[in-house]
Amino acid sequence: MGIDVGGTFTDLVASGPNGALLTAKTPSTADQSDGVLDSIARIAAQVGIGVDSFLSQVGLIVHGTTVATNALLEMRGAKVGLITTAGFRDEIEFRRSYKESTFNPRLKPPPAICPRRYRIGVPERVDSRGEIVTPLDEQAVREALRFFKLEGIDALAVCFLFSFLAPAHERRVAELAAQELPGAFISLSSEVLPEIREFERVSTTIVNSFVGPAIASYLTHLEEKLRNRGFAGELLVMQSNGGVLGIAETGRSAVNTLLSGPAGGVTAASFVGEKAGYEDLITVDMGGTSYDISVIEHLRPNVTTANWIGRYRIAKPVLDIHTIGAGGGSIAWIDNGGALRVGPESAGANPGPACYVRGGERPTVTDADLVLGFLNPDNFLGGTMSLSLENAQRAIQDHVAGPLGITLIEAALAINQIVNHGMAQSTHFVTTKRGHDPATFALVAVGGAGAIHAGHQAELLGIRTIIVPALASVFCALGDVVAPLQVNEARTLIARLDMVDLNTLNDTFNQLETRARSKLSDQSVRGRLEVRRFLDLRYVGEVHEVTVPLKTRTLRVTALNIDAVAQSFHEIHERLFAHSDPRQAIEIQTARIELVGQRDPPAWLARNFTSEDADGARRGVRSVYFSEAPTSVAVYDAERLQPGNFIHGPAILEQWGTSVIVRPGQEALIDAFGNCVIEVGRSVPAGPA
């Protein structure tokens, strides 16, 4: 089973022994484990047995969780103390002059997750060659730890200068902390991020301690609940890098789960793209709270180590996912200047959009979609939930249409247009601004609201093909089912590429692989491991570097491999920055590996094409507003559509959990796996929607 907990819903995909995929979607709960058990109960009911009996037959659960994300974004993490080299306790504040918005002088500092009074420098020093210059003052460490104990510190971060070259001092602090601060969660920078760059290292280490106790406690709590209900299998957790790991390692490296939820969707997109025959994809996941965008090239998701999450720098390898506050629950509001805005505030699951009839009174994107006819109020979540059109109309009229002096439909169209253009602009951020032409990619639209807005997104971006997966509304949970086991390890290694000692380089890669294997030691990989090597490279004198795959046919890196990675670096540099100089010397900064253990994917079998005629799935027609004038649109039951069915737009395909909007001028085909593939015409109708 794959279980993904989002801000609004908890999704589950279960793969049975016969290859059948069962799905469930239930409201998320304050204690995420309650929502997990609710979704399991829904699946158990589908197969006609009790929860305990069902769980006893489950061999593997992969969980995507937002516990760490919520702890950071909502500032509800642990009380953290930092021990660092004397004179460097303010590194987290200096931030190497980094700001997420460089040219915004009004940008305030982020909320302090480790206030200055809890950051203590102690005498010690290691130089840039890894040699001890000043021994560790253990008495100063003990005094710091005793102060932390009096202050109620429950998580400790340790970050010394150049500890990635010589970690002995950090390890000694951990030993002393076990005596003076028993029970505290401890993060050592030499273990969390053994790489150069002090700010990135201290930021990532502090965040790991801030969210660590929450994720460790939650996973222990969840496992206990599952075991008590009969689960005897293995529990794995989705990681931000697109792989999965066991709960023990996840508890120690909680920072790796900050993008646990959306990472599942990107992983699933690669799986579906391969099945559908598309290698280059832009994945957009529009749920109740956020809109997540990522780029996949040749079925490999882009990875970055330059992430800001909750105003803090996270330098661990994570899937390159750009997130904005735009979802079905995003609230429409009028600012002080009288302009209509949408988001980032969300109504969430409770009270939710006004149409949910749970106490929400402010208009949201979902309310606008309902008023425009994109949603069927009697068939939301496959008919398990009813929506109130009257509530949606009232909310938009009272909060948008009335104050702006426009009609109800104009207001709903304006909400729709603002959120669509905002999402398109964010998609340009991860494509056009990074050297990609979005028109050369297929758009994979997932999440409960993704397929509603994808048609307009494609028109705005010049994209010709949209793929709406058969399991679009529970897509991240599908990604949890198909994700591989994966560990990323890195170590700084400064050297000229053309002068690097191959023995040293190979020894570094071997040590990284050994460390990675130790983290998979308790996992059922069955020997199917793949090692992928990378080098962070830059021209000598440059400040920033790019990560370049190092392809080898043998276990050892050879001189020919070095020549090939140099050529790849020039090509990547040219694509990213419109500049390359093969005459310029290249410098290695960091060696990286990915250790990937492949798991058996679900047996998702192709079906034969039937007739193009889709009339057998037709439900009727309803009025939809693509502009101020209504359009009569054919409505289809997506569950009854068969491979080969062909549909001319405008049309609506009502899936369980979402609606697929095929706009005027577009055509849809159901492929062999039940995915809806939409082709977008070159000329699209004009209109504000």
* pTM for this entry: 0.85
Instruction: List Cα–Cα distances, 293 to 326, 460, 653, in angstroms.
Output: 11, 15, 23
User: Does residue 377 lie in a domain region?
Assistant: no
Instruction: Give the pLDDT of residue 607.
Output: 85
Whether residue 121 contacts residue 198, with contact meaning beta carbons closer than 8 Å, is answered with no
Locate 600 and state its tokens. 């058996």
User: Does residue 590 lie in a domain region?
Assistant: yes
* Residue 448: closest CA among 540, 516, 365, 378: 365
* Residue 285: closest CA among 480, 448, 458: 448
Alpha-carbon distance of 94 to 90, in angstroms, equals 6
pLDDT surpassing 80 at residue 680: yes
User: Does residue 508 lie in a domain region?
Assistant: yes
Q: Is residue 304 exposed (0-12), middle (13-18) or buried (19+ Cβ within 10 Å)?
A: middle
Locate 561 and state its tokens. 């491999």
User: Does residue 151 lie in a domain region?
Assistant: yes
E-assigned strand segments in 570-665: 586-597, 618-624, 631-637, 646-648, 651-655, 658-662
What CATH number has the domain bearing residue 173? Answer: 3.40.50
What CATH number has the domain bearing residue 509? Answer: 3.30.1490
User: Does residue 200 lie in a domain region?
Assistant: yes
State the total domains in the chain: 2
User: Does residue 199 lie in a domain region?
Assistant: yes
pLDDT surpassing 80 at residue 484: yes
Q: What is the mean pLDDT of the chain?
A: 91
User: Does residue 182 lie in a domain region?
Assistant: yes
Q: Identify the weakest region by mean pLDDT among 17-26, 65-74, 127-136, 166-175.
A: 17-26
Question: Mean pLDDT over residues 488-508, rounded?
Answer: 95
Question: Mean pLDDT over residues 362-382, rounded?
Answer: 91
Of 597, 632, 654, which closes a domain?
A: 597
Question: Mean pLDDT over residues 514-540, rounded?
Answer: 81
Locate 507 and state its tokens. 């020894």
Locate 502 and state its tokens. 């191959």
For 181, the domain range is 75-214
Alpha-carbon distance of 325 to 288, in angstroms, equals 9
Distance of CA 288 to the CA centre of its chain: 15
User: Does residue 678 lie in a domain region?
Assistant: no
Of 556, 571, 597, which closes a domain?
A: 597
Instruction: Give the pLDDT of residue 661.
Output: 95
Whether residue 420 contacts residue 457, with contact meaning beta carbons closer than 8 Å, is answered with yes
Instruction: Give the pLDDT of residue 687.
Output: 44
Residue whose structure tokens are 């569950």: 639
Of 597, 613, 647, which closes a domain?
A: 597
Number of Cβ within a 10 Å radius of residue 224: 11
Residue whose structure tokens are 């969660």: 185
Alpha-carbon distance of 418 to 178, in angstroms, equals 54
Q: Which helix (H) or strand (E) holds 32?
A: helix 32-47
Number of Cβ within a 10 Å radius of residue 552: 18
- Which tens digit of pLDDT belongs to each residue from 634-656? 999 998 999 999 999 899 999 87
Instruction: List Cα–Cα distances, 275 to 128, 176, 471, 634, 673, in angstroms.
Output: 49, 53, 13, 28, 8
